[in-house]
Structure 1
Amino acid sequence: MADPTAALVWDGTRWVDDGTQVWDGKQWTRPSALFWDGQEWMAQPPNAQEFAAFVSSNSSSYTGKPQASLSVPAETRVNDFVVSICGNMQGFPKLLAPAGHLPQIIKDDTQEISLAVACWPYNGSDTKVIWDLGGSPQATCVNLVYRYGDVLNQSVTPVSDIRVFNNVSKLPLMASKNFMSVFVAMTASTHVTSYQWPTGVVPREGFKGRFGTYEISILTAETPGADASAGDLELNTSVEGAGLYLVTIPGRSDGKPTWILGDSRASVLGNTTYLE
């Protein structure tokens, strides 16, 4: 099988243009060099959009393991943003792979339980996310994948905001920023807790289980950024401790105003507002 990335041929002395051209629908052009994005050969990554799109997610729990290894979802492509979450029963988890990304970690004042979150663009080679659990007897990890984010606009600290709560029955969501806002919450209680995200926030991967004497919930959801809070994450019982992250997946604005349908706080249309 010919190399699909080849645009030159070796004539015995040097690499030369083989003259191959392809029809692009309008004209004959020289084929572009291709790269494998994890799913197919591509001439270039997809164009960034203002709001990244959810692609897939996965999760797994670990007991008596020194490390937690969770593959990125099979649908992941180069330049997709991976949001990785690790809930630890004791101590602080450390992100071993991929290297070079610093997770943000919160720990409730009344318990040993901690929650770590990191985010990065997928490079096509780091197919597994590995966390050092630091001797914790139990842990749970979650990976979320988003497409069409702007890798040129990525932040060193993609976690835009962190809050910790004690003895609460609802978690007020932070005001979302520009682009796609991903909320990651963890609650710890001696009782099983159910929950309800506010209208306009789309639930994603979740986990419910037990860490020692505590019932644990790790919850994720998303909403387009609108510089306003979408409301509260409602819990059916009071929880002893909870943590909440806001992760911003950067996008690329087209320069036009954006109204988010259903957003009664930040996207209110006036009598003379026209959408094109």
Structure 2
Amino acid sequence: MSVNKCDQPIGVFDSGVGGLTVLRALQDLLPHENFLYLGDTARVPYGTKSAESVIKYALQAGGALVREGIKMLVVACNTASAVSIDSLAAAYGPLPVVGVVKPGAEAACLASKSGKIAVIATESTVKGGAYQRTICSMHPDAKIIAQACPLFVGLAEEGWTEGEIVEAIAARYLKPLFAQFGEEGPDTLVLGCTHFPVLRGAIAKVAGDKITLVDSAETTAKTVKCILAESNLNNDSNVSGEISFMATDSAERFAAVGSAFLGRPINPKNVRCIDL
């Protein structure tokens, strides 16, 4: 019996639960699509790992999803998108492979009027310079300064998303970053890690009303929708799609922490633990 490729799920992977913010945007925009999400929770975070390690982990995660039978691979991790997107495309093409860096950079360029764009991300994403290069390729006159904010990941994972402590840490990162742009500061701030949107309230409070916050989730979802249409891969079902979850460690923790990122409860019984 032949398999209808349009009915196959879209594979989404991240180093942990942060990519569930991308999955949430995908499901909102594409409610009839099926999704298979893999969180590499045993090796989170990717942001402190070497590029070689991240590429190896990404290929393993991508391979696990491909073996499950997916029609598209979404890399819902800024670090993995920054360093491994070409390796994934080479390994698993002609399967469409979509990362979050390019859509996020496009959104930043559209949002910025002054061309002064600040980027906050993990250490690996900042050092790799993917956002800087991608934004410059679209907006050559832009001034881009990136800052690693490693503590944000831990705060998000622990559910510390608001309050004085979170705002104090945000201020410690953001105020020196903004000062580098001069008196007027940047007009756009890219949340270059999928963990950061859950801290959006605290970050926005420190950044102020004059700075537009950009995260790549919504723009990535729009990119996926366009590719599905161009590739004739749309699921034309009239029923709501299904989401399946896989994790490389502790289904219970994945469900408990991930629920805040996805915006709805996750039953740990619906999370399958796998080895990569």
TM-score normalised according to structure 1 size: 0.30
TM (norm. structure 2) is 0.30
Q: Greater strand percent: which structure?
A: 1
Larger RCO, structures 1/2 (Cα 8 Å, 6+ apart): 2
Mark the structure with the bigger radius of gyration: 1
